[in-house]
């Protein structure tokens, strides 16, 4: 049994029909060179034999002492979670993205472990795809990426590789969990409560420091500085997913020219794309947009504390400076703001940062749930960067051609911009409400335009 952290619980509280709270990933593979035409069907038969399901994929929600917890599911039905499907003809990327858009719109059954694995055939050019979705209360982006990477290999000749739900068994770990007694449960919950209470002084200190700085510096990002925007209207349950790859070498060249990080540059690309998209809708706010940028806390953890399940992320509220017309100056300002936020976290523990995050996002969550306080607009969009494999990867001999994150759109947060790195590529995945954000796919071109602007400014 494992209690959910405050951050994990938020993802459960926020979920409703038009607002599924699961994250996902789309991977596109090429057949091995010697593979027969029915390679994907044979792969499906192989995967069906992997009936052992290990943590966190064997966990379902339950409640102990009025607190949600994860418990081992004794009656897991693998056929419900693993699905072998085919795209309609002509099997283009357009059909694949439409499939992901539709599947990502559907809620999952909370009486079962909250994950699905879709093996998809029918793509042209001897390719197939894998789409996986997992509830965000169960994993964060970093842990999801780590589990995906465990499924892959840099060896193209390796075969009989297990699926992501059967990783721990192959590594000699136990897939089951013993059921704790009532007193063990109480002790565990009290221990967790004590850990949370111990963070109060540091969290209160940082909140007070943020409030005081916001009073003195109008540019500083407090929890109420985001403008009202079309991005922050109520949404429907229908999603549009758009994805594209960009060259990592180009982005790193811009990093070198501006003495910035990759995360700074991709954030600036997103800011440029948002500025152009909203200008074309005649809907760009006068005040700059604010992005919620998740940052991994795993580097702050002590040795042995890292776990696959749960969320280990803090949040930076990044000013995107969309009121700035000059691309280079916009990047410099974004870099400065993100550095200041990271310095604030440098002297805090992971538990303190998690609780600081929960408190600073509390107004946003209340507004997202009710819409009653539009002035409590904490951020306008989510921009998340999850590192991926640094070398060419394979799964049962099939070459991984691209991997695209599929995240969460919400009421009053109609767009989520998530990206990951793979080999020499940066893979963007945009998810949004189809009605609120028309022609969302055009933003892929605007991301490219934003990178070109930075390259041209650097060269001049």
Helical H segments across 128-281, by residue range:
141-151, 167-170, 182-197, 200-216, 248-258, 262-280
Tokens representing 446 are: 């605007």
**388: which strand partners?**
none
Catalytic residues: 136
Going from the C-alpha of 347 to that of each of 107, 196, 295, the distances in angstroms are 39, 17, 15
Q: How far apart are CA 278 and CA 438, in angstroms?
A: 11
Q: Give residue for tokens 């792969």.
A: 43
Contacts of 369 (CB under 8 A, 6+ apart): 13, 14
Task: Please name the residue ranges forming H helices in 49-115.
Answer: 78-81, 93-103
Cα–Cα distance, 80 to 120 (Å, whole number): 16
Three-state SS string across 185-230, please?
HHHHHHHHHHHHHCCHHHHHHHHHHHHHHHHHCCCCCCCCCCCCCH
């Amino acid at each position: 049994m494992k209690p959910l952290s405050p951050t994990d619980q938020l993802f459960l509280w926020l979920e409703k029909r038009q607002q599924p709270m699961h994250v996902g990933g789309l991977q596109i593979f090429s057949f091995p060179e010697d593979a027969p035409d029915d390679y994907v069907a044979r792969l499906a038969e192989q995967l069906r034999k992997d009936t052992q399901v290990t943590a966190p994929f064997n966990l379902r929600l339950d409640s102990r002492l009025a607190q949600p917890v994860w418990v081992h599911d004794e009656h897991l039905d693998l056929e419900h979670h693993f699905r072998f499907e085919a795209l309609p003809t002509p099997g283009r990327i357009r059909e694949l993205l439409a499939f992901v858009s539709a599947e990502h719109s559907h809620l999952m059954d909370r009486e079962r472990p909250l994950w699905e694995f879709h093996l998809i055939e029918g793509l042209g050019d001897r390719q197939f795809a894998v789409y996986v979705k997992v509830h965000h209360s169960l994993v964060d982006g970093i842990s999801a990426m780590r589990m995906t990477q465990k499924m892959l290999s840099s060896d193209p000749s390796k075969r009989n590789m297990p699926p992501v739900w059967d990783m721990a068994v192959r590594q000699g770990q136990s897939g089951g969990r013993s059921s704790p007694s009532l007193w063990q449960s109480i002790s565990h919950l009290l221990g967790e409560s004590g850990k949370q209470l111990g963070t109060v002084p540091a969290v209160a200190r940082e909140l007070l420091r943020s409030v005081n700085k916001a009073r003195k510096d109008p540019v500083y990002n407090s929890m109420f500085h985001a403008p009202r925007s079309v991005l922050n209207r109520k949404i429907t349950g229908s999603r549009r997913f758009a994805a594209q790859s960009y060259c990592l070498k180009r982005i790193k060249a811009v990093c070198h020219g501006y003495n910035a990080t990759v995360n700074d540059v991709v954030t600036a690309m997103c800011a440029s794309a948002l500025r152009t998209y909203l200008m074309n809708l005649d809907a760009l706010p006068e005040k700059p947009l604010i992005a919620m940028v998740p940052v991994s806390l795993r580097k702050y953890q002590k040795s042995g504390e890292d776990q696959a399940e749960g969320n280990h992320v803090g949040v930076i509220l990044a000013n995107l400076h969309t009121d700035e017309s000059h691309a280079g100056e916009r990047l410099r300002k974004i870099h400065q703001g993100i550095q200041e936020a990271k310095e604030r976290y440098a002297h805090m523990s992971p538990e303190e940062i998690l609780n600081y995050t929960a408190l600073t996002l509390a107004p946003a969550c209340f507004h997202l749930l009710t819409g009653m306080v539009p002035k409590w607009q904490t951020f306008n969009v989510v921009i998340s960067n999850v590192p991926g494999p640094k070398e060419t990867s394979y799964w049962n001999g099939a070459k991984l051609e691209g991997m695209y994150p599929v995240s969460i759109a919400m009421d009053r947060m109609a767009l989520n911009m998530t990206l990951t790195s793979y080999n020499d590529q940066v893979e963007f995945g945009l998810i949004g409400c189809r009605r609120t954000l028309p022609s969302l796919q055009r933003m892929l071109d605007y991301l490219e335009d934003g990178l070109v602007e930075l390259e041209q400014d650097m060269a001049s």
